[in-house]
Structures are given as C-alpha cells and as structure tokens.
A and B are shown apart, each in its own frame.
Chain A
Amino acid sequence: MNEKNFQEKIEKEQKIEPKDWMPDGYRNHLIRQMSQHAHSEVIGMQPEGNWITRAPSLRAKMILLAKVQDEAGHGLYLYSACETLGISREELVQQLHDEKAKYSSIFNYPTLTWADMGAIGWLVDGAAIVNQVSLQRTSYGPYSRAMIKICKEESFHQRQGYEIMAEMAKGTAEQKAMAQDALNRFWWPSIMMFGPQDSESPRSGNAMKWKIKRQTNDELRQNFIDKTVGQAEVIGLTIPDPDLKWNEERGHYDFGEMDWDEFWNVVNGNGPCNQQRLDHHKKAHEDGAWVRKAAREYAKKNTIN
C-alpha cells in the first residue's frame, strides 16, 4: 500500500518530503547519491584551492576564492539536505574517511598550471551544471531545493572558467599552449564524469523509476558535448577527440571511445591524487578537532548554547 502510494506520488511529479514514507532502497540511494555529491563539492575545493595563493591578479584571486568558497557552501547545502534522511554529517564524513563513500573522480586529477583553473571551470563545472540542472527536478524535495539554489549560484562558475581559457587562448604562444594542454588533460575525464554508459550502469533503473535521476548518463553526456564543441571553436582550441563530428541524422555530435579502464582505475582509488585528496581532508578534520572540542566545552560551561 505504502509502496503503491509512494510510486503514485512520484508519477504525479509530487515531491517526497522527509517525513513521508519511502522505500528503504529509495532512502539508501538518496543518501549514497547526495553524500557523494556533497563530498565531491568539498573534495573539489582542493584542486582549485591549490591555485588561490598563486592566482595572477587581484581580480582572479577574488573570483577563485569566492568560487571555491561556493563549493564549500554547496557541500553544506547538500549535507544539510542529506541530514533530513536521518543521517548526520559526522557519519557521512566518517564514511568518506573510511572510503565507504565516494566522490567524483575528476578531483583526483592534479591541477598543474593556471590554465587548469580555466579547464575546471569550463568543463568540470560545465558538466556538473548539466547534471545539476537535470537534478532540480529530482523527486526528493530537499535535494531538489538544494539543487535549485546551487544552480542559481553556480551560473558564474562556468563563465569564469571559460573566460580564463578565452583570455589564455588569445594570449601569448605559451599561454595558448597551456590552455590547449589543460583542455587535452581535462576533456576525457570531464565527459566521464557522467558515469558509465547506460548499458553498464546497474543502479540507473531504480533511480529513473523513482525519478531521483531524470536523465540517463548518456543523455546528459551528449547534452554536455553538444554544448561544448562550439565553445571550443569560438576560442580556437581543439577538443582532443579525432572521432568528434556532427551527425546530421542524430542531430548530435558523435564522439570517440572513452577509456573505461582508466575511469575504473581512478574510481577504485588509483588516480594520481586519490590518496592526497583524502589525506588532506582527514588532516584538516583532525587538526580542527581541538577547536571543535573547545567550542563545545565553552558552550556547555557558559549556557549560551
């Protein structure tokens, strides 16, 4: 009965709210997906944080710091939404540290030059936005609301990245080479951010039925590629895929084979920065333990809590 009511609500595009009955599978899927999303925002602070102190102008410094700060904020919106499912942020962070929860593999790639700030904003945020726009219509109310807020705030992220790329592409020969190199390194990992192909993605079925996900991995990926090809052309950079070409019949771009061995390698912990990212997060958490403890003790003693 419950299950039937629940599915009816979903079909009618009514949102599921925290106090509503939901199948365990739905709750677990949401916790997994939302916490992975939250962790990605937070771990995603590191590759860009890596360049804040080296940003080449006052303007670039402020923009990048504000952007990385937004990622912390978006992580918080998502943790906050996830907590409505009856799991605490502390538990979620523990799962991250125990490597039971994942985050987007894209953040396990190193940011080697300033152009990577451009590539990340343009491609990585661009891909994330395609996914997030779709998730605004997700069936779980708190998740949907968090996504709406995040999309509103992230609209500047992709633009700032593209602006960096555009500036560099029309700059000195060295700058243009740097921009092309960043595109070369980030292109494939970016389009793999949408996850395995639909034929390989075991959980997609329920997620689509429950309308947690509204579009499949392959649909989202295609959407992103179709949008991005023209943007690369405008600034005179070349997408590193010899098979990329417009398919009149499909009305989409065809593209080459992704390297799934590499994808799974990075997902399973063997990316260039997996260990470093996790260690960084753990260290910050441990370094802050005495501060959090002091604040709790102070609140207890002073009854201002």
Chain B
Amino acid sequence: MDNLFIYILRIADCSLILGQRMSEWCSKGPTLEEDIALSNIGLDLFGQANGFYEYASKIDGNKSADELAFKRNEREFFNYQISEQKNGHFGTTMVRNFLRDAFKYLFYNELSKSKDETLAALASKSIKEVKYHLRHSSNWIIRLGDGTNESNEKVQKSLDFLWQFTGEFFEMDEIDNKMLQEGIGVDNKKLKNEWNKIIIDTLNKGKLNKPEDGYMASGSKKGIHTEHLGFLLAEMQYLPRAYPDAKW
C-alpha cells in the first residue's frame, strides 16, 4: 500500500479511537460542565479523523472515509496504543490525554510545515484544537496532582501505568523515514526533548513524579494492539457491519 496512505491512516486512527473513548464519557462526567468539555474534545477528534480519512480516501480511491473507519479490522488499525486505553476514572482519562496531547501538539506543529499541502492544512487546523486540549488536560493534571492525597495517589498510579505507552510516540519505522525524507512527514525522535519539557513542567506543578522509562509497549505501526481495541471496534462498527447494504 501507498506509504502516504498508511501515514495518514495512522494519524486519523489516533483521532478516531481517542474520540470514541471521549464519547464514552458523555453523561458520565464529574460535573455537567466537564461533561460538555469532554464532548467538545471528542467532537474535535472526530472532526480531525474525518478530515484525515477524507484525504486518505482520496489517495486510496476505493474506500470512503466511513469505510476506512467502519470496515477495517483490528490488525488494520494503526493508532498508538495509548489512544485505545480505557477511560478508567477521570484522572486516568486526563493522564492519557495529557501525555498524548503534549505529543500531538508538537507533532502537528511539525506536520504543519509538511510539503504536502493538504496534510499541512489539516495539521494547522488540528494544532488549534490540540492546544486547547493540552491546556485542559494539563490544568486537570495540576489540580488533581495538587488536590487531595487521594487524588494525587490516583493520578500518580494512572501515570505510572500509562507511561509504558509513551514510547510509541517517538518510534520511526520505514514508512516514517520515507515520509521524512520526502519532506512530508515528521521526525518524531526529535520531538522527545520538547515533549519531556512539557511533561516535567506540568508534573512538577502538580507535585507528581515522572516515571522512569522502563518497558515500553510497541507495535501499533504494524497493527499490534492491546485487547481493548477489539471491543472498541466491535461496538463502533456494529451497525455498518450488521447491515452491509444499508445507508444511514
């Protein structure tokens, strides 16, 4: 398959899968105001996914954006494993989003300089949204980290668990390298210093400890996932798969 096509799918999948997780929060938020905030993030992510899928669909020429989202199997999804991690409690969701928002913010900043004009435009639109998401998740990390003993312990535990999924952000495979050489893609390795700075700064403000880099999960670039993704897709794709002839 076309390198660019895969490269775009990876970006789109991350947004779709995390958006799906965010939409699970609807009617379950800790306050009604926060419920609305979480839905807003979900809507931004679905919008991003849609934009990137549309572009992928144009390159592919066979499958529509919806088919890309609803008719691929577990092993054909390339989102970072962190996006599919379960919401858990509110603190876990905020840690997951914070680690990912900080990365995506830096990533889209770089991608907005891509030689590929469509990608650059999609990235520029996404930066504004992710900047707000990062602000939102960082503020919660600080509040929960520096709130009560209970909240600090809870968030630290979520952080210690989710840390293993941050290694994937900075991996580069053949496709990434090709895209980088062609001036289309981003050098993820280069983003790590800046990412570390954002993370450390916020964790310090929240009186939280940055976990040591230990075992790091890997594999999403080859469609390897945690078990959670299968269930997420089964639920999300149920209607188009149960009624393949129907239009909605």
Q: Which A residues fall within an 8 A CB radius of B?
A: 42, 45-46, 49, 52-62, 65-66, 68-69, 72-73, 75-76, 79, 114, 164, 167-168, 171-172, 174-175, 280, 283-284, 287-295, 297-298, 301-302
Question: For residue B42, which residues in chain A have a CB less than 8 angstroms away from its CB?
Answer: 65
Binds A, one of B19-27, B97-105, B129-137, B195-203: B19-27
Query: Closest residue of chain B to A286, judged by CB?
Result: B30
Q: Does B76 interact with chain A (Cβ within 8 Å)?
A: no
Interface size for chain B: under 10, 10 to 19, 20 to 34, or 35 or more residues? Answer: 35 or more
A161 to B144, CA, bound (A): 39
Q: Does B189 interact with chain A (Cβ within 8 Å)?
A: no
Question: For residue B240, which residues in chain A have a CB less than 8 angstroms away from its CB?
Answer: 56-57
Task: Show 9 A/B contacts (Cβ-Cβ < 8 Å), sorted by A.
Answer: A42-B27, A53-B23, A53-B235, A62-B43, A75-B32, A114-B239, A171-B247, A288-B30, A295-B143
Are B146 and A298 touching (Cβ within 8 A)? yes
Main secondary structure on chain B at its contact with chain A?
helix
Q: Which B residues fall within an 8 A CB radius of A?
A: 16, 19-20, 23-24, 26-36, 39-40, 42-43, 46-47, 49-50, 53, 65-66, 69-70, 89-91, 142-144, 146-148, 150-151, 154, 235-236, 238-240, 243, 245-248
Residue A61 contacts which of B23, B34, B148, B243 (CB distance < 8 angstroms)?
Answer: B23
Pairs of residues from A and B, 8 with the lowest C-beta to C-beta distance, nearest first: A294-B147, A288-B30, A294-B151, A56-B239, A69-B39, A291-B30, A56-B248, A45-B27
Question: For residue B151, which residues in chain A have a CB less than 8 angstroms away from its CB?
Answer: 290-291, 293-294, 297
Residue B26 contacts which of A59, A69, A171, A287 (CB distance < 8 angstroms)?
Answer: A69
Question: For residue B238, which residues in chain A have a CB less than 8 angstroms away from its CB?
Answer: 54
- Chain A nearest CB from B155 CB (Å) reads 9
Are A53 and B20 touching (Cβ within 8 A)? yes
Residue A175 contacts which of B50, B89, B236, B243 (CB distance < 8 angstroms)?
Answer: B243
Are B142 and A61 touching (Cβ within 8 A)? no
Are B46 and A62 touching (Cβ within 8 A)? yes
- Chain A nearest CB from B44 CB (Å) reads 10
Are B29 and A284 touching (Cβ within 8 A)? yes
